[in-house]
Structure 1
Amino acid sequence: MLSQFNQFLLNFSLLITSLLFAFLPLRHTERISADSPIRTRLVVGLIAGLIGGLLVLNSITYDGAKIDLRLVALVTAYYYGGWVSGGITMTAIIGARFLVTPPGVYEGLILATLICLALLVTASIYRRFAAQTFKDYLVLLGVGIGYSLPALYLLTDTFMRFLEMAFVYIIFNLFGGYVTYRFLQELRKHFQFVQTQQELALTDGLTNLANRRRLDETLAHYDQHGYAFSVLIVDIDFFKSVNDTYGHDGGDVVLRQLSHLLQHCSPDEALVGRYGGEEFVVLLPDMPLKEAVRLGETIRLACADQHFVFSTYPAFHVTLSIGAASSDQGETSFEVVQKADQSLYQAKQTGRNKVVGYSEE
């Protein structure tokens, strides 16, 4: 009995280690279910199939029976990816079972195939009436164990040996299933936490726009790949007077409302960010300078018409000065931003509340 427990522990360690590394490619995927895109379900099936195959190849042979944790991999595939993932995993497990089956001794292979098919059909029916909860995972695991026990009985020599192996099989599959489910749930929480922290590190806390770090990283990416783009640098005119009149809380309200306006006016592919203070940047991939200037004019007019509201003060207006430049006017993105900043300076020096596109003249 002790040797069987030791072998099961090795099988269990292989399961958890494989899960950790194999599911890393799916760490940014939203909640996985039978309604996920077919590509995601295929990947889940391939991963679970690989793990199931490895478990079979490292299974315990006992009186002609192959005892391992393949059932956990199979149920996990059914649970997350439906029949698509389950079918791929089943095929991989049967293929691995065939490889370890001695010639002419196919009883175990036939029984394993029948168990997989029965579980696939049962799981497909059960999923129509169940939610994706831990209880449903345990139900599928229990059904799989129930289907496996008669096969285990047929492949053992005596009833006492069957009871011995059944006890070990049930305990380890329930334990393996529980740990697998909890492990995957905690792994997803960890990945979501890391992703959230990464997003926060690239997001301006006040406006929820891209911060300077993200803008700089995007510009570096443009340089690396040679992407064409235009840039708008947007500055609020006389913002100091806004802070003096309405306080810093009023100034923050203006910054937040302006951030919403910039996002609303900009195309979906644009990256809108706060460069610092009252200065904003809009990166416009594949947009020539003339179109960028027109967009800047649209933003300027929309801002001039908008009523900014703070506390009990009457609604008020603010205006914008905007500088524009494009990637064909500089060798690097840094030079393009500098030229847009020069255009912004020109807009401020010539009366404010205007858009100026960079010109070599």
Structure 2
Amino acid sequence: MPDILSLGSLYADICVTYATLSISFFILSRSEPFNFKGSHWKRVAFGLVAGITALYLRGNQLVLTDNLSFSFEMLPMILVTFFGGWLSGLCSFVVAFFFSGMFTLNNLFIAIILGTLFLFRVWTRRKHRELYITIVLVGICRLALVSSIHGIQVPWTELMFYQAIAACCMILCYHALNYKEIYMNKVFVTRVKAATDELTQINNRASLDYWLAQRQIQREACGLILLDIDNFKRVNDTLGHQVGDRVLIEVGRLLRHLTRNEDFAGRYGGEEFLVMTSTCDPATLLSIAERIRKEVEDCVISLEDGRELRVTVSLGVSLYLPGMIIRKSLKLADLSLYEAKRKGKNCVVGSSILTLAELGYKRHTHKM
């Protein structure tokens, strides 16, 4: 019996196939769930890992002729096509193609199988049925290929045993990756729900507190913009809480649209929102605050009864500087917000701490 059919070799190939794909799938899902719609670089990386794995598996072959041999090398290519789409499957094949003799009968056979999967776009409607159809297709094509080559001694018993083990390995790895994908999706859904305000769908108070705590731990300066919806109690009392909720949702939507990727915005409590910026430049902070004020002022909120409503916000701008207590920074932003309310609302007031912004620059330069 060929060495590939020994229990030790089969077990090693199964472990290598599952371990490499499972670990790479987990790593690529650290920041967001990995799937065929994800970042291009992640799908390429998944394909490259599968291609390298295929090359390793090719070293343990069931040799039938000088030009034809079977191994587990096709398994990782098929699996990454199911989970990473055509880009992952193509990258895995390109790696295996260029490092395994290029235009060989084996590579032609693999290209036909992958091409069929690409044609039917199995990753878009991935179901167990597609997997089992693929397994049957691979088995039939392999047996047909072997039968079409005359003059070779075919070890049919060993070949059928190999086919059965390969099918079991693919099923095992597929379902393991499928359960991992389901689990990772649930983790991220739970994480998003835990960090998101249910009404406004922006970050909640817990997320804001965590972000601020990280700035204090890392001793990184940041800008703080605290804003409050003017006359919000009057809106609730005269138009009802449903309209009040509509106002909160609209302000949250504007903040999601106006904040940059490196900034962080969330609902601080009630009708108050907090925007935290990576910049501590006073002119930039005041400009961001003024843009928020103007966008809210110009926003027209359509109510269910056809009426239109406009609201305004007052904003207080402050800083967190390394060495400060977070509560003190927030207190300064709150005092600035109170001053904006006292001045007649719908305006921006900067804290006196903005004059110390250079301390934040010096700290950043020192870290660089």
- Does TM-score exceed 0.5, indicating one fold? yes
Cα distance in structure 2, aligned partners of 1:313 and 1:123: 58
Cα distance in structure 1, aligned partners of 2:260 and 2:17: 46
Change (3 A) 1:143 1:114: farther
1:75 aligns with 2:83: no
Structure 1: gaps spanning 5 or more residues: 95-109
Aligned match for 2:176, one of 168, 180, 183:
183
Give 2:111's aligned residue: 121
Cα distance in structure 2, aligned partners of 1:120 and 1:68: 11
- Per-residue CA deviation, residues 153-190 of structure 1 (Å, 9 max, x unaligned), is 99xx976xx23212212222223223323332332222
Q: What TM-score do you get using the length of structure 1 for normalisation?
A: 0.75
Change (3 A) 1:41 1:247: closer
Aligned partner letter, 2:282: L
Aligned match for 1:44, one of 29, 46, 61:
46
Give the superposition deviation at 1:129: 2.9
What's the secondary structure of 1:23's corresponding residue? helix
Q: What are the equivalent positions in structure 2 for 1:164-175 lying under 5 Å apart?
A: 164-175=157-168
Give 1:31's aligned residue: 35
Q: What are the equivalent positions in structure 2 for 1:158-237 lying under 5 Å apart?
A: 162-237=155-230
Cα distance in structure 1, aligned partners of 2:229 and 2:278: 24
Aligned partner letter, 1:345: Y
Change (3 A) 1:130 1:354: same
Change (3 A) 1:86 1:319: same
Structure 2: gaps spanning 5 or more residues: 356-368
What's the secondary structure of 1:207's corresponding residue? coil
Change (3 A) 1:45 1:91: farther
Contact 2:314 2:346 in 1 (8 A): yes
1:289 aligns with 2:245: no
Contact 1:323 1:342 in 2 (8 A): yes
What's the secondary structure of 1:325's corresponding residue? strand
Change (3 A) 1:290 1:346: same
What's the secondary structure of 2:225's corresponding residue? strand
Give the superposition deviation at 1:148: 5.1
What's the secondary structure of 2:120's corresponding residue? coil
Contact 1:55 1:69 in 2 (8 A): yes
What's the secondary structure of 1:323's corresponding residue? strand
Identify the range of structure 1 (326-335 vs 213-222) with the bigger mean alpha-carbon deviation.
326-335
Cα distance in structure 1, aligned partners of 2:189 and 2:49: 26
Give the superposition deviation at 1:260: 1.9
Identity of aligned residues (%): 24
Give the superposition deviation at 1:208: 0.4
- Per-residue CA deviation, residues 249-294 of structure 1 (Å, 9 max, x unaligned), is 2221111122123333444543221011111011222252223223
Give the superposition deviation at 1:141: 4.8
Change (3 A) 1:90 1:147: farther
Aligned partner letter, 1:26: L
Give 2:91's aligned residue: 84
Q: What TM-score do you get using the length of structure 2 for normalisation?
A: 0.74
Give the superposition deviation at 1:73: 2.2
Contact 1:232 1:322 in 2 (8 A): yes
Identify the range of structure 1 (123-132 vs 198-207) with the bigger mean alpha-carbon deviation.
123-132
Contact 2:33 2:185 in 1 (8 A): no
What's the secondary structure of 2:224's corresponding residue? strand
Aligned match for 1:312, one of 293, 298, 305:
305
